Chain A
Amino acid sequence: MIMKKDLSINFLGVHCENPFFLSSSPVCNNAEMISKAFDAGWAGIFYKTVGINGMDECSPRFDITTKEDTPWIGFKNMEQISEWSLEQNVEEIKKLKKNYPNKVIGVSIMGSNEEEWITLAKAITEAGADMLELNFSCPQMTSHAMGSDVGQNPELVRKYTKAVVDHTHLPVVAKMTPNISKMEDPAIAAVQGGAHGISAINTIKSVSKIDLDHLTGLPVVNGKSAISGYSGNAVKPIALRFITQLAQCEQLKTVQLSGIGGIETWQDALEFILLGCRNVQVTTSVMQYGYRIVEDMINGLSHFMDERGVDNLEDMVGLAVNNIIPAEELDRSYKIIPAIHLEKCIGCGRCYVSCYDGAHQAIAWNSETRKPEILIDHCVGCHLCLNVCPVFDCITPGEVIFKDGRDNNRNGEDIVKQLVYQ
């Protein structure tokens, strides 16, 4: 592809050629596959979580959720950490560092007690990694001394982070679990333990669907299934919410963020960056489509920066953080009546059905001409109709009506311009 801007960014003192990393998972299990990923354009990785011993995994271990004909809306996995031993993984990491000195080798690790964490930290540091990621977040470990059970306990997070930080000179990132209502608590604990960065999210505990024949969840393993982690595009809104809260947290202002969860396109990645991430990580979409998707991430982001006249990726980090405000502070002084462009309308009646059944009975339907008409007095400006109309730009934001005496001296046109619907 032709357009390629300098997308480099510094993350935790390490120069990264772009912000796109593979997140710890089977997309970075060994040196051979990771070499292909580097050649495709990924700037770095977080190597599949290394433990002291290899894991014993089940088969099958994945399931997908689907809406209409779109598969992979979300992805469920029942996999734990690396199937290989520490020694085997150390060899792989050495090989990678030798062959790709300019790529960033982050390595995810997970122990079940302080001693194991220290052993892992030392071994991986010696192997030549560029940074460490502490996996406090895998939701399907067979041991409760590991994974998200640890990540939900700020005390353990602090203790293990400190143990690692004391035994490495590398930057340390703590990876958070979303299976918690307030992620700031373990994140702050990690920072107190000495972590330099926070990454989020790992997968969300889930039961993806029930198999109606076997009467258990999917995937079915010898007639049974287990609660386990959900990822992919469906989880992106939840990941963005956690990132927003981390980015807005006063006690976390000193740490850098790495965003994970449902990233498929440069736009998804940019959303995380605008919410304060200097680095983004991807798994599920790579499992679905392969390493090549990074080409369009690099190219797409380059075009965007070119169009907006942005020269440094750095300049966009966090631009949206302060525009997400508490619900009580939202401007509630006006409503925007939608405008239906009848010359585009194909007469499907979807706006009418949704407004009647799911909003405010504010669209009149002429069954002869098959055309809708907004009843301004009933319309509350919720814009449900805009979201259901199947024709591009057929319904757009129209007249702004201020509630009685609440115009705040602004004009409607400017307000409408702020709305972008796709």
Chain B
Amino acid sequence: MVQKLVVEYEPELIEGFDFRRAMEEASRCLLCEDPPCSKGCPSGTDPGKFIRSIRFRNVNGAAETIRTSNILGASCSLICPQERLCEQECSRCGIDRPIQIGKLQQFAMEYERKLNKTYLSKKDTYAGKRVACIGAGPASLSCAAELAKQGVQVTIFDEHPKPGGMLRYAIPPYRLPDAVIDQDIHQLEKLGVKFRLNDKVTTKELGKMKEEYDNIFVGIGMWQSKMLTIPGADLPGVVTAIEFLSRAREAHGKMPSLGNVVIVGGGDVAMDCAATCKMLGAASIYDIFIETIEGAPAVQKEKEYVFKLGVPLISEFKPVEFIGQSRVERVKFEHMSNGSILEIAADTVILAVGQTMQSEAASWRDSGDIFSGGDMVNGGDTVVRAVKEGKEAAVKMMESFTRR
């Protein structure tokens, strides 16, 4: 039997392990002393512990462990680059291949969702304190959850209609369905966190908020896409990755025809764009980047996935010109070292060459009297790292409450 490659853009759920398969995988786990996998997780999700719970038929315990340290445990199970975090550290690599930690985490989180379980509870350590979190992305959500668990009244502000930030608007739904994001958000709601959506905070309003709240956390990510300063970059048909991905997601994949697509970039976002284009029925797709295949920053799993979908990955070419009359028609590339020239027809060009902060964010971040975390602080990294930074900010905030 040939394994079928799933190419649905907006699946309701992503197929996971049933109990038997989970047990099979948990039995492969060596149940290490002081588990290296747990050290490999930035947010301390403790796979060594939750896998052991699954092995001893305590799926509740597994889900509880995940939730306790990672408020985005369900989303992370699907989108973490496990192969360079927990799974990279796995002792079992010394025998054959690592435990599929993400799959086991997904299994425990599905259990939570199916049974509509709640594992987190609220203490009243800091009852009466009020905190505003700006941005409803991973860092903010994580900070909010940590505070809410200790009784802080948290309000999250975000300019988008739905919470989740990049989870909701950049990561495509075939990797992270809405239901899973909602599951994570639901945990925050159960902790009493309030959301103020469609509400873009200005610098002036921020000033007022500093009076109103005991503390402010800013985690507004990096929504500004980097552009290329080459001829034709402003031609219609040239779009940024985040713009493309969020439009596709909002339209549930029902977009005007993409025609021939050229994607520029070798990171995970570029791979997401490539697969999305495939699922949306682009006529042809080429993903071209300046790095070598191995050197391209996307995780191996994603590169392989895109390749299996039939998207050619072309390495070591840099774009030098977008060519066209009223719209982009072709893109010209030049080899990084040997002078070869490549010209490819394109109706759509997607630039996935990195993100940067919006202009006001830096001044907010550096203003000193507020806390911040996530991409805008670390320069753009994983969701799970943002979770960690959100937690750390919350801990510092609470220390400051105690000191006062």
Contacts and interface: CB of A to CB of B under 8 A. Distances in A.
Q: Are A and B a genuine interacting pair, yes or no?
A: yes
Interface of A: 68-70, 346-350, 352-353, 365, 367, 370, 390-391
A68 B26 contact: yes
B95 A353 contact: no
A211 to B, nearest CB: 15
A402 B142 CA distance: 60
Interface stretch (B31-39, B107-115, B225-233): B31-39
A130 B37 CA distance: 62
How extensive is the interface on chain B, given as a class? 10 to 19
Interface in B48-67: 55
A370 B39 CA distance: 13
A350 B95 CA distance: 14
B20 A349 contact: no
B277 to A, nearest CB: 39
B92 interface: yes
A347 B31 contact: no
A365 B33 CA distance: 9
Given A68-B27, A69-B24, A349 B34 contact: yes
Interface of B: 20, 23-24, 26-27, 30-34, 36, 55, 91-95
A370 B37 CA distance: 13
A397 B370 CA distance: 62
The main secondary structure of chain B at its interface with chain A is helix
Contacts of B34: 349, 367, 370
Contact of B92 (A346, A353, A365): A346
Contacts of A348: 30-33, 91
A367 B34 CA distance: 8
15 contacts: A68-B24, A68-B55, A69-B20, A69-B23, A69-B26, A69-B27, A346-B93, A347-B32, A347-B36, A348-B31, A349-B32, A349-B34, A352-B33, A367-B34, A391-B94
Contacts of B55: 68
Contacts of A370: 34, 36
Contacts of A349: 32-34
Nearest to A346: B94
Contacts of A347: 32, 36, 91, 94
Nearest to A372: B33
B363 to A, nearest CB: 44
B62 to A, nearest CB: 15
Nearest to A352: B33
Contact of B91 (A70, A346, A367): A346
Residue of A353, A370, A390 with highest tally of chain B CB at under 10 A? A390
Contacts of B95: 346, 390-391
B211 to A, nearest CB: 49
B164 to A, nearest CB: 35
Given A68-B55, A390-B95, A391-B95, A350 B23 contact: no
A391 B24 CA distance: 18
Contacts of A68: 23-24, 26-27, 55
Contact of A390 (B20, B24, B30): B30
B100 to A, nearest CB: 13
